[in-house]
Amino acid sequence: MTFTAIRRLPAQYREMSNKEKISRIVEAKREFGSDLFIPGHHYQREDVIQFADVTGDSLQLAQVCETRTSPYIVFCGVHFMAETADILTDTEQRVMLPDLNAGCSMADMANISQTERAWETLTDQFGDTILPLTYVNSTAAIKAFCGERGGACVTSSNSGKMVRWALAQKQRLLFLPDQHLGRNTAADLGIPLHDMAVWNPITHELELADGARVEDIQVILWKGHCSVHEKFTVGQIEELRQTEPETNVLVHPECTYEVVQAADYAGSTHHIIERLHTAAPGTSWAIGTEMNLVKRLAAQHTDKRVFSLNSNMCPCLTMNRIDLEHLAWTLDLLREDVYQFEISVPEDIADSARIALRRMLENA
Ligand code: 13P
Ligand code: SF4
């Protein structure tokens, strides 16, 4: 479950031609047939996503993994997604992540001991009035923490439904670890910013808006963020409004509240893809999300102008760690029955985390 024993890519894979890596991957896929399933997140690199059996956002990939029976799942995505796949599949199915360093900087912003400490302080202050919700971009231990306390997971595709679900049961919610998705979702449901506070896991303090009253707090936002989506700014949108007023601005809800408010549209990865599919030819779109996806959308929609809202944007570096060489290496090892990159969540954690994930899937 944790990042241990990270072996370096053998030199032979670094020196190998792309043609050779591709032929090894193709050969392994052919050899394993339906025994091997490769899900690929939309933020994966182009050279890797071509080998995915199914592509999707984190919700879609969780749904599809839950129903797959293949004994081997090689997850092209990041660590928390592979953990989710492991939790939702049978114990005898093996889930592998081609590079164990492919984490998520946002998921790293909340660990279980910080969460337990925060919970103790918050429940001392607010009593039994809080339900914990965690974005799937979090460790299995935090998912388990939520599952054990009546809470659930959310993704950017169903966060509205899940926040409504949580507030129908308890007066308040603790939303981990992405403050922006939590704030944007709650604001969208009409909860005033004043009634949201931020939990700072470093100072161990609740940060309130000026003049806000503690007893009115409905949403407690963990102070975490996505280092990729935070690179979109209101300044970029304002500049675009001056130079290209006809361009539509479409952003992911991991962007800040101010960016989401300034944009024309906001929605999950799936929503962004769907909106571009239905957009009229000739329209222009500045997208505020991960760069591999933006480039792919631009290549798919040649009848529209599609570009990144931030002209200096880079791909998500951890998503990008899954490359041809790591995929070829993983599959070569698999052919020798070596499960070097297996993700295996301990059963007790998996059992509780599954409860939180199933609540999310039921509300999808
Ligand atoms: P989705 O839930 O939209 O797939 O997003 C996952 C993610 O990591 C976004 O940064
Ligand atoms: Fe994590 Fe952000 Fe990368 Fe998504 S884009 S995997 S939230 S660091």
The phi-psi region of residue 265 (left if phi > 0; otherwise alpha if psi is between -120 and 50; otherwise beta) is beta
Percent of the chain with pLDDT over 70: 98
Mean pLDDT, all residues of the chain: 96
Q: Identify whether the C-beta of residue 42 lies closer than 8 Å to the C-beta of residue 56.
A: yes
Per-residue tokens: 83: 């953990």
Place of tokens 């571009």: 276
Q: What is the mean pLDDT of residues 67-73?
A: 96
The closest ligand to the CA of 231 turns out to be 2
My answer on whether 131 and 201 are in the same domain is: yes
What whole-number distance in Å separates Cα of residue 216 and Cα of residue 24?
59
My answer on whether 275 and 340 are in the same domain is: no
What whole-number distance in Å separates Cα of residue 236 and Cα of residue 13?
40
* Residue 272: per-residue pLDDT: 97
Q: What is the mean pLDDT of residues 178-192?
A: 98
Pairing of strands 196-200, 205-207: antiparallel
My answer on whether 67 and 33 are in the same domain is: yes
Q: What is the mean pLDDT of residues 220-234?
A: 97
Q: Identify whether the C-beta of residue 255 lies closer than 8 Å to the C-beta of residue 209.
A: no
Write out pLDDT tens, residues 256-309.
999 999 999 999 999 999 999 999 999 999 999 999 999 999 999 999 999 999
My answer on whether 140 and 248 are in the same domain is: no
Write out pLDDT tens, residues 94-115.
999 999 999 999 999 999 999 9
My answer on whether 54 and 152 are in the same domain is: no
* Burial class, 363, CB count within 10 angstroms (exposed 0-12 / middle 13-18 / buried 19+): middle
313 CA to centre of ligand 2 in angstroms: 13
* Residue 3: per-residue pLDDT: 43
* Residue 340: per-residue pLDDT: 84
* Residue 75: per-residue pLDDT: 98
My answer on whether 146 and 235 are in the same domain is: no
Q: What is the CATH number of the domain that holds 51?
A: 3.40.50.10800
Q: What is the mean pLDDT of residues 122-132?
A: 97
Q: Identify whether the C-beta of residue 153 lies closer than 8 Å to the C-beta of residue 143.
A: yes
Write out pLDDT tens, residues 325-353.
999 999 999 999 999 899 999 999 999 99
| Residue from 290, 310, 317, 322 whose mutation best tests the ligand 2 pocket (most atoms within 8 A of CB) | 290
* Residue 2: per-residue pLDDT: 41
Q: Which domain holds residue 339?
A: 11-102+318-346
Predicted confidence (pLDDT) at residue 4 exceeds the cutoff of 60: no
* Residue 333: per-residue pLDDT: 95
* Residue 363: per-residue pLDDT: 85
What whole-number distance in Å separates Cα of residue 364 and Cα of residue 345?
23
Write out pLDDT tens, residues 6-24.
578 999 999 999 999 999 9
The closest ligand to the CA of 316 turns out to be 2
78 CA to centre of ligand 2 in angstroms: 8
From the CB of 318, is ligand 1 less than 6 Å away?
Answer: no
Distances (CA, A) of 256 to 95, 225, 234: 33, 9, 9
174 CA to centre of ligand 2 in angstroms: 20
284 CA to centre of ligand 2 in angstroms: 25
- Count up the domains in the chain and report the number: 3
What whole-number distance in Å separates Cα of residue 138 and Cα of residue 178?
9
Q: What is the mean pLDDT of residues 36-64?
A: 96
